Chain A
Amino acid sequence: MAKNNASVWTSIRFWRRSAAWVTGVAVVLLIFLTFDTMSQIRMGTDKELEQGIKRRIPAPTVINHHIDYKYDEKRGMEVPVIGKKEPFFGKEWSPKEARALLHLGKLTVQAKNCMDCHTLLGNGAYYAPDLTKAWLDPMWEKTMPAMTGKKTKEEAMAEFLMHPGQYRTHARAMPNLKITPKEAMGVVAFLKHMSSIDTNGFPRGFSKVIKEGKTGGTYAK
């Protein structure tokens, strides 16, 4: 193509070189960004959690703590707040136990394919509620423990996950996924851990209206 009087704009070579350059640099930039992001989203250590050092993804032992999701003036969004210690399934979990429990939970979440009905961190399917902050959902404060006859949130969740068909709250029910009691504990640990992840304020205004006791919504019951 390279005729003497041809314009650079119609030169294949120019476009090929530019394409190679731009692609190469974009890849290199992505790799740099990936290294930085990876260092920020690795799971925190138990020591960091003890010392109150903020991590985007805290250590598994975060399940031994109270978790809240509060508006932060400085960041202009809600952020997870890791509070005082509270028992989880009636005890405090050692770092090793907590890690094993989270491992079981994550494996179960994949093995049962929760992501093809629910969204996790907003990704997945849209047939059922987003689970990012499910641990903090107001329904788990009183309604569900009462319905399942359990004293604590975690026990109610585990019971629901094992027998969702028995505790229908809507016409669209969750099916029985043959989750064992051990797996259910793992899944609840996974959900509690996920609710402590700093998601840059997603979901925004989580359950605010319902928590404040306003029903809201044109058709809300």
Chain B
Amino acid sequence: MGFHMFEPCTDVACNNIFAWLNQGPLTLTIVLHTILILPMFWIYFSEKKKLGK
């Protein structure tokens, strides 16, 4: 079966961060989603602290 969760980049150009991250199972999109969502935890706790006062 010619199927792998990790595929080496076969795009026309591979010398960039996005193509590089694109080689694993949804790794690129998960990274981008994480960058967006993760800091919301910090915002949450900072608001919680303010509300507690």
Contact = CB atoms under 8 A, between A and B. Distances in A.
Do chains A and B make direct contact within the complex (CB under 8 angstroms)?
yes
Interface of A: 2, 4, 6-8, 11, 13-14, 17-18, 21-22, 25-26, 29, 33, 36, 40, 54-56, 74-75, 198
Interface in B19-53: 32, 35-37, 39-40, 43-44, 47-48, 50-52
Contacts of A36: 16-18
A158 B37 CA distance: 54
A14 B41 CA distance: 11
Interface of B: 10-13, 16-18, 32, 35-37, 39-40, 43-44, 47-48, 50-52
Contacts of B44: 8, 14
The list of the 8 closest CB pairs from A to B, nearest first, reads A14-B47, A75-B10, A8-B47, A74-B10, A8-B48, A17-B43, A18-B40, A36-B16
A54 B51 contact: no
A66 B9 CA distance: 27
25 contacts: A2-B51, A4-B51, A7-B51, A8-B47, A8-B48, A8-B51, A11-B51, A13-B47, A14-B43, A14-B47, A17-B43, A21-B40, A21-B43, A22-B36, A22-B40, A25-B39, A26-B36, A29-B36, A33-B18, A36-B17, A40-B12, A40-B16, A54-B12, A56-B13, A75-B10
Nearest to A17: B43
A191 B17 CA distance: 32
Contacts of A54: 12
A79 to B, nearest CB: 9
Please classify the interface of chain B as helix (H, G, I), strand (E, B), loop, or mixed, using the class held by over half of its residues: helix
Nearest to A73: B2
Given A2-B50, A22-B40, A75-B11, 10 more contacts: A4-B52, A7-B51, A11-B47, A21-B43, A25-B35, A26-B36, A33-B18, A36-B17, A40-B16, A75-B10
Contacts of B18: 33, 36
A120 B51 CA distance: 55
B43 A18 contact: yes
A54 B11 CA distance: 11
B3 to A, nearest CB: 10
Contacts of A11: 47, 51
A194 B31 CA distance: 33
A6 B51 contact: yes
A215 to B, nearest CB: 31
